[in-house]
Structure 1
Amino acid sequence: MLRCRGWSPLAAAAAAAASSSSSPSSRERRADLLDLPPDEADVVIIGGGIMGWSIAYWLKKNDTEQDMTVLVVEKDPSDYLLVAGDPPIDIQFNPSGYLFLASEEGAAVLEHNVRIQREEGAKVSLLSPEQLKKKYPWMRTDDVALASCGMENEGWFDPWTLLLAFQKKAKSLGVIEYCGEVTSFGMTSREVTTFEGQRAHLSHIRKVHIKIPNSPNTFSVAPGMVVNAAGAWSGSVAEMASIETGEPGTKSVYKLPVEPRKRYVYVFHCPAGPGLACPVVIDTTGAYFRREGLGGNYIAGCSPTEEEEPDIQDLEVDHGFFQENVWPKLAQRVPNFESLKVKSSWAGYYDYNTFDQNGVIGQHPFVRNLYFATGFSGHGLQHSPTVGLAMSELILDGKYKTIDLNVLSFDRILNGKKALERNII
């Protein structure tokens, strides 16, 4: 199990093979001929989304002392043919502040959040209803008690191109990608007694079994470490490691409280809308909207209540949800949004953490070579660069160095201590 910088059995084997012969090993030839992953990998990352590729990139970037093998397994990848020497990828960043609106009930929380942001160096302004109306005359403000607006380094960008950038760079550093579905783990375990006198099972993942595409067969990889970055499906991956409620009287490994939740995004056209003056607006109702391009188009959405949660079996968009739950909130905040036309829409999955809606990051306390980077509940895109860096530090050095993310560890689930954020969309 690779815990810190130093000798790696995989790196040592590779060095020995290289010194004895310049030709590839039979295992390497077999993998090439059959398009199979390697038999062994220092780190197997399950999930080829933005989080998985960020972790892969940072691992290889920071791996200065050994030839670490990093394998990313994704069951449904979108492949890109990239040519060395391509220009830097433009992620189409649009600078624009985030405008949070608070009612009387939420004003104190908003003020508290802004104070923390300012202490961390963020330039954020507080606006009274009068200041808000003067700055954004197209907005109805009579039910707003306070607003906050980011003054710099905020905006939006194309998430697909950011993922592509991480993927391209990680591959150039030697990360291996394999298209296949992880179906099970080969585990070993032993029973121990905790300081509290409870029984607990310490487990170790010895094999990652991957289904070969277009074949009934599976292929096994022996991992040093496994990172569960499977997004909305990470709960199912965790269950493969027997991470679920245990028997009474045992200190259980507990279930990973992450499940898929379907969310809708709507694109509408409103020529009389706020135009270039429109920031990212997070309404008191929980609805959000922002400008999309320069042609009078906008993006909007709103999370449903628990009772309204849609079926996750498909990615069909419910346009009735826009008519009944989103449009009235938009028109209440921006009267000109009374007249709009929905042009397109899409649906996607959140990796929703039912425990506290925040990410689960780091090592599992009882499955010792299993790590998590999941449960971000819609914020994984923003968090991915930092989480990737932090995970690389934890895996390579055994601890966080740049930013301490222990508050988001799996231990908080064991201890029932929620890490709640009060400034979310």
Structure 2
Amino acid sequence: MQNESFEWAQLISGYLLNKLSEEDEIRFMDLVANDPEKKAILDYYKHTAPAQERLNYINSLDIETAWQKTTQRHNKKQKKTKWPNLIKYVAALVVLTCSVALWFMLNRNDQGIVADHVYHYKNDVLPGNNKAQLILSDGRKVTLDANKISLIEKNGTKLVGSSGELVYTNINENDKHEDLYNTLIVPRAGIYNLQLPDGTRVWLNAMSELRFPLKFSDNERRIELRGEGYFEVAKDAEHPFKIALNGSEIEVLGTTFNTSCYGNIAKTTLIEGSVKIKNSQKNGFLKPGQQGIVQSSGLEISRGDIDKATAWRKGYFYFSNDAIQPVLEEIARWYDLKITYKTKMPSIHIGGSISRKVKLSEVLQMLKDVSNLSFEIDGRNLTVN
């Protein structure tokens, strides 16, 4: 990791001093284009005052004179050096390399924290991305990210993970093993999707967890969900698909819907098909476009907002007459923030839409425009004033 940091530091130093070869410059620009953190570091050194001061200082140094004094001290007969430009470059490279490498390594533990030179926050925060942890039936833990994985479970089920998706395939259809479960955990600032052995596709939002068998039973397909998931359930009339969700149960045969449960309220919005919702007090059926809300008072069915319910899966935030505090909580899950309120939240409701792929500062700017609140960012701490 340290070698990588210094190699990158040498590249950016050479680029800023216009000393890269054509080959290295192509490689450097490719790295910047494919890594938001590296782009943020480059932007910092190109556009922020402290970095510019550092570069100006390097360019103002009379390194040739200093070098002559040093060599004369060791050898009075030493001739005047003929490599002033090389010396200046090497000295500048040392200063910049150490500076960039130190910045890079200190921030390596949290790659999502970057510099902000637009809205003047202490720092900015990158959006979430594809990441999750898979707990296998034998307790092993597998980190899922952009890298490809391929595993065979005890019962012969094949798992292939790549580019934010995990696909399960039953190799041995005769092997039951309903008692073997996997758990997919998506952390804050994460998102991931998987295809279950029956062909059902599930997208999991940040702070979500899905527990499921490696092979479904003969009479039903049952899973457990915490957090939020978007489902495209494979049709199978003989095997209803059931989701256990914080004291309630959703039953479908083949349909598309979004369901979430952060806290004590479970919301299910039906896009197409049919859904049956059950809890200890009441059962009800949803029609496309309807939303079912389960809480301590029971089950309430009303008209839903499909655009709002599915926005996260399509890659954007969508607020429609929402109270400001739940909005901030949703943003905090996606950017992995700890929120501190220094003022009483105004009883206002806001509307608006913005991409989930932008930095935190851009989302906060939208909120400032519609709420008159102000914000401070310090690492992953967000203060609301």
Structure (1 or 2) with the larger CA radius of gyration: 2
**Same fold at TM > 0.5:** no
TM-score, reference length from structure 2: 0.23
Give the TM-score normalised by the residue count of structure 1.
Answer: 0.22
The answer to which structure has the higher strand fraction is 2
